[in-house]
Structure 1
Amino acid sequence: MPRMHAIELLPDADGCEAVRRDWQALHDAGLPSQLDHRGTTNSPHVTVVAAPALAAADEQRARELVASLLPVQVRAGAIGLLGGAKVSLVRLLDVPDGLVRAVLDLRSEVADVQHDGWLPHVTLARRMRRDDVPAALEVVGHDDVVMTVTELRRWDPEAGIVTTL
């Protein structure tokens, strides 16, 4: 499976710190955590679109539709599980309707989008065994966190380049 190109939303410093607290709590408990991902571009983010390739026109539309709405407040609240035998532990986000519409409009224009629809979330851990989920729920923060999404970036895994849009 090819590595996916992505357009991602980034929270401000306070939002990053809130997510990193969850990453650290999972790590300290000996559980999978995004803190364990050592890639130089690993940071708290919300994937807007992932596809095998993104064109310059996709970047421009992302600027027009999504970046033009920033900054915007979102609420990180409920915890969710994505996947099968092993799951990703995520914090689901409540986002303003205008941002949802803009993201769905963008996604409708991008070829070969990885998933239908959009489920805004921040990943806390990947490839977690299902029997580790109860322990993970005990250690991550249970309070809702309001954060401000301030930046849009594009990730090109083939070139290893992150570009602010």
Structure 2
Amino acid sequence: MSAQRVVVGVDGSPLSFAALDAAAVESQRRTTDLEVVYCVADLDEAGPVLRAAASRVAGRHPGLAVTTTAVVGHPADVLVERGRDAALTVVGSRGSGGLAGLMARSVSSRVAARTDAPLLVVRGMDARRTPHLPAALTVRLSTGLLHRAVGPCGSGPRPPAGRTRPAGQ
């Protein structure tokens, strides 16, 4: 496959559908196709989630070319491989910090640790910590620098054109 696509991982959760929405927006901005990937233990179980994902994109982004793919494998491994030559890979993150986040070793943190490709992590809210803040986004640019933005997908503070903030800022 060529880099003319955005790859997004879904699992049927609300957060994965937020990542799907962000991926569709990015796909339209980049004028690329969208590939929706669902990792399952049994390929027969993938149909309902992939149909729901394709229907959601078609309803919100008419005309956007969408491919759905069911794959048997660990989601992080699959997304790193599928995203290797993509324009962007998008994943959701529950935003679990501290020991819980470390123990869970989320798919998003595994993908971020293993990919050199552009990556967008759509973070969910942890209501115990930040009930007043909207979801945050973390983007790994092709330069390896990270950009963090707070707000609905694509809104919020952005660095000036051509500049990014290093990770942790």
The structure whose residues are more often strand, as a share, is 1
Query: TM-score with structure 2 length normalisation?
Result: 0.24
Query: TM-score with structure 1 length normalisation?
Result: 0.24
